[in-house]
Each structure stands twice: as structure tokens, then as C-alpha cells.
Amino acid sequence: MSDTAEKNNKTITLKTVKDFGMQYAIYFVFIILVLIITIREPSFLSLNNFRNILSMSATRIIFAMGMGAVLITGGVDLSAGRMVGLAAVLSASMLQSLDYSRRMYPDLPALPLIVPILVAMAACGLFGILNGLFISRLKVPAFIATLGTQVAVYGATSLYFDRPPYGAQPIGGLDRRFITLGTGYIGFDGVYSIPYIVIIAAVVTVITYILFNKTTYGKNIYAIGGNAEAARVSGVNVGRTLVIVYTVAGILYGLGGSLEAARTGGATNNYGNSYELDAIAACVVGGVSNLGGIGTVPGIVIGVLIFSVINYGLTFINMSPYWQQIVKGAIIIAAVALDIRKYLSKR
């Protein structure tokens, strides 16, 4: 083999290693963190902890599925967290125990469990429609449109929350059926059981995967994120697709917010604050490009799990919450930097 051929082979090998490293760098960092946590506390690797992490991740996965579609179109949704809070307050207020002394609706009979959840999903879906119309019809940048919706949703939630007879009091005393939905499980008692909310998150994930990969809707969101003008020329109804994307995202925030209220056993008007940032971070870490057009459902799930493991693991070893924020911030910056590097390398 000539010196030139050998040099070319080395160049190709180095480029392959570099590309591989850029593609999976975040996962290497994640593995290193898990190893550090495990060395510090070997009991971290247990089925019980794994189950707890899945339970904590379930609602975040539902939020991230909605946010992921928005990001793939090249947009962003800053109203997601406040919609989660709206859904939590709405569903919790209609699902308080009949014998609870501080019910928001003292004369409301016991409703079927699905009804308040559907109401919460519909309310958030309505705000999602408004987001989509502001962006597609009025041409308001997604950042500004959803920021405005974020403020409006918080105001609406606070007005609803601060109503008589008890005013701005945390909503508690939830119906046992609702609590069971958020904390119950199927299967054997203990670590070999599967929480209901994990099953719901898995169903949402499968449906989202099918929508992304097997439908015209999925093809359209990737086309819009890749090049909206080219997608329009190709016959994609960009405006209608964006309205659908933001509406579906709102519905998912409504479902996730209701389940989060059930999981934690209550709600306030500040519920869901900054959840949109966690969802964006999880999507980006999971490989969804902040520039649009790139992202997968498995990647989104992995991104959520990475942050859940980090949150749970660092708390497990008693790391200061302030240091946890520093670690999470560093991971987010690294993920975005790598995403931009990958984009530039393909140009």
C-alpha cells in the first residue's frame, strides 16, 4: 500500500471516529455520570430505583412528545409549562373527594374519571390552536407567540384558581380513583409492577412513533422543519400542519398535566412552571435538532430518561440542588453545541 493510500485511510478512520464521537458524546457523558453515581452509591442500580425513575419520567415523556413535534417543525413552545399547570388545576378541581371539606365545587357529583381529564385536554388543545393560528396566519414568530400564550394561560389559570369560596388555596383532597391513576400499578406488588402512568406514556409514545414515521402528517412536519418554503412548493399545507402540530402538543400537555396532578396528589396555579424548558432540553439531548427537521421518538424518550436519571441519581447521592442545576445546564449547552457542530459539518 502506498503512503498516500495509507494516509487517506488514516484520515477516513479519524473522521469516522470523530463523527461517531460527536454523534454519541452526550450518551458517553451520561454513562460516565451513572458510573460515578453507582460507584458512590452501589444501591442506585436496583429495580426499585428503575421503577421510580420510569414513574417520574412518564409524564415528562408525554410533554416531550408534544414539544418534540414542535421543535422538528423548527418552532418552539414556551407555553407548555403553563398549559400543564392549567390542566392540573382543571382536572384536580373537578376530581376532589366528596367528603373533602374544602372542595372547589361543593355540589359537584362524582364525575367519571375521564371527563375532567378530557376537559383539561380540550382547554389546552384550544390554546394550542391559538398558538398555531398566531404562528401560521399572523406570522408571529413561534418564540413570541407562545411567550404571549404562556402569560395569558398563567393569568387564566390564576383567575380560575383564585375563585370563591376558598380563594387561592392548593387544590387537595383528590378522589382516590384519580390518585390511583397517578400512583397505582398493575402486576405484582413491589418492584415487579408497572405503574399505570408508565403504561399510558408507552401508549402515547407508540402512537406518536406511528404518526411521525407512518403518516403524511409525520412526513410533513419533517419537511417543514427541513425547509418550510420547499415544503410549501411541494404541496404541503404548512399553515394547517402547524396548527395541527401545536394543537396536538396542547392536548398532550393537557393529558400530562392531569396525570402529574394525580401523581403528586394536588395542584396550584404555579404548577408546571419551567416544564417547557425541561421538555426542550430533553428533546435536544435526545437528538432533536433545535434548527428543525431532525428528531426521533426513541431519541426523545432517551433524552427524558437521561434527565430523569440525572435528577434522581444526583439527589440519590445527596448532591446539592444548586450543583444539579449546574450539571444539567452544562449538559444542555453541550447538546446544543454538538447539534450545531453536526449541522455545520453536513453543509
In degrees rounded to 5, what are phi and psi of residue 311?
-60, -50
The span from the CA of 186 to the CA of 208, in Å, is 23
Q: Give a yes or no: residue 44 inside a domain.
A: no
Does 75 map to a domain?
yes
Is 210 part of a structural domain of the chain? yes
Tens digits of residue pLDDT in 145-164: 999 999 999 999 999 998 77
Contact between residue 60 and residue 279 where contact means Cβ atoms under 8 Å apart: yes
The per-residue pLDDT for range 173-221, each reduced to its tens digit, is: 999 999 999 999 887 665 578 899 999 999 999 999 999 999 999 999 9
48 within some domain: no
- Give the chain's domain count: 1
| C-alpha to C-alpha distances, 214 to 217, 237, 262, nearest whole angstrom | 8, 18, 32
58 pLDDT higher than 80: yes
Q: What pLDDT score does 13 carry?
A: 65
Give the mean pLDDT of the chain: 88
Stronger pLDDT, 7 or 303, i.e. the higher one? 303
* Cα–Cα distance, 330 to 200 (Å, whole number): 31
Q: Which of 253, 201, 240 is nearest to 79 (CA)?
A: 253
Q: Given pLDDT bands bounded at 50, 70 and 90, which one contains residue 335?
A: confident
CA pair distance 255, 234, nearest whole angstrom: 34
Instruction: Supply 194's cell numbers.
Output: 408497572
First to last CA, the chain: 32
CA distance 62 to 258: 11
Per the domain annotation, does 45 fall within a domain? no
Domain span at residue 117 reads 57-164+172-346
| pLDDT tens-digit series, residues 67-100 | 999 999 999 999 999 999 999 999 999 999 999 9
3 state DSSP class of 96 = strand
Q: Is the pLDDT of residue 256 over 80?
A: yes
Report the length, in residues, of the chain.
Answer: 347
How confident is the model at residue 346, as a pLDDT?
Answer: 56
Residue 27 in domain: no
pLDDT at residue 177, as a whole number: 95
Domain contains 6: no
pTM of the predicted protein model: 0.89
In the structure grid, which three cell numbers stand for residue 60, read together? 415528562
Q: Is the pLDDT of residue 344 over 90?
A: no
The whole-number pLDDT of residue 5 equals: 54
What gap in Å lies between CA 156 and CA 241, rounded to an integer? 27
Cis peptide before 165 (omega within 30 of 0): yes
Mean pLDDT of 24-44: 80
Q: Which residues of 27-45 are buried (b: 16+ CB within 10 A; e: fewer)?
A: eebbeebbeebeeeeeebe
**Ramachandran angles phi, psi of 168, nearest 5°:** -80, 70
Residue 247 inside a domain? The answer is yes
**CB neighbours (10 Å) of residue 46?**
11
Q: Where does the pLDDT of residue 27 fall: very low under 50, low under 70, confident under 90, or very high at 90 and above? A: confident
